[in-house]
A and B are shown apart, each in its own frame.
Chain A
Amino acid sequence: MPLCIESARFESTSASHRPVLSPLTALLLQELEPTSLHDGDKESVASTESIKTAQILVTEVPFNLIGRPDVSPYYGEVHLTWRLGNKQIVLMCFSSRTPLVHHHPNDPQESAIEEATGDRLSHWLRWLRA
């Protein structure tokens, strides 16, 4: 398992400046390759832009939070879903808009959505484990 792999964010860096990624992050980036992201019904293909957005965001999440989300295309978008008990986080990456992160606690009245950044995604992943 390579610990240092290319991602969209770091394509332009020299080898000595490439970050070392955790095995889980490296696995996740492999799942986020266009060739891995295909869907059973063939209607749902992730766009290159949405895949790049997802790749960038996951490399901004600390190693200990990344876990093993479910990764799937959704009508041009890429969705990453983390679940623990009744809690759920969905990261939605689009072609032409800021990504969104939705969190869903036990009480549906308290679920909410906001624009996703590496920091906010990390915040909600901490919340998931709390």
Chain B
Amino acid sequence: MATPALVPNGQTVYRGMRNSNWAKNGIVNYKAFMLRPATDRYSAEKEISLGLTPEKAVDELKEYHGIASLSVMRIHLLPHGLSVRMNSQDAMKADIWGLPLHSEEQAQRGLAVTMATDLAGLANLILTVPPEPRR
């Protein structure tokens, strides 16, 4: 299968906050950009999924806790060789390629946290969803 095209540098992409601990006090953290390990329900992630619009960033999530925006150019300028590529299934989605797969191995984990921290540093939370009040 051909490698999908790069998303142009002028584009903004959006990351849905699937988990409440991906952002605290309005600041996105590295967990929002770590690839998920295989679980009982899902296979291991190989890319970080993004939307080309805020709505597409969350349209497949059962719940979300905010949306962050990132500049494609700034992702490409990070010193990690990451690329933002069109999603082959959905023309309104994109993926970040080049992140290390989930691993407990020291070097691999170190790279993953470094890259994820740098991506989080580029992310601006544009929408926060307040937690539901406790009954």
Contacts and interface: CB of A to CB of B under 8 A. Distances in A.
B63 to A, nearest CB: 8
B1 interface: no
B113 A113 contact: yes
A102 interface: yes
Interface residues of A, number: 27
Contacts of A70: 21, 24, 29
B79 A74 contact: no
B29 A81 contact: yes
A72 B31 contact: yes
A128 to B, nearest CB: 14
B19 A97 contact: no
Contact of B78 (A44, A74, A88, A108): A108
Interface residues of B, number: 29
Interface of A is mostly: strand
A102 B31 contact: no
A111 B19 CA distance: 25
Interface of B: 18-21, 24, 29-31, 34, 36-37, 39, 41, 63, 65, 78-80, 102, 104, 106-107, 109-110, 113-114, 117-118, 121
| Ranked 4 nearest A-B pairs via Cβ | A113-B110, A40-B20, A72-B21, A111-B114
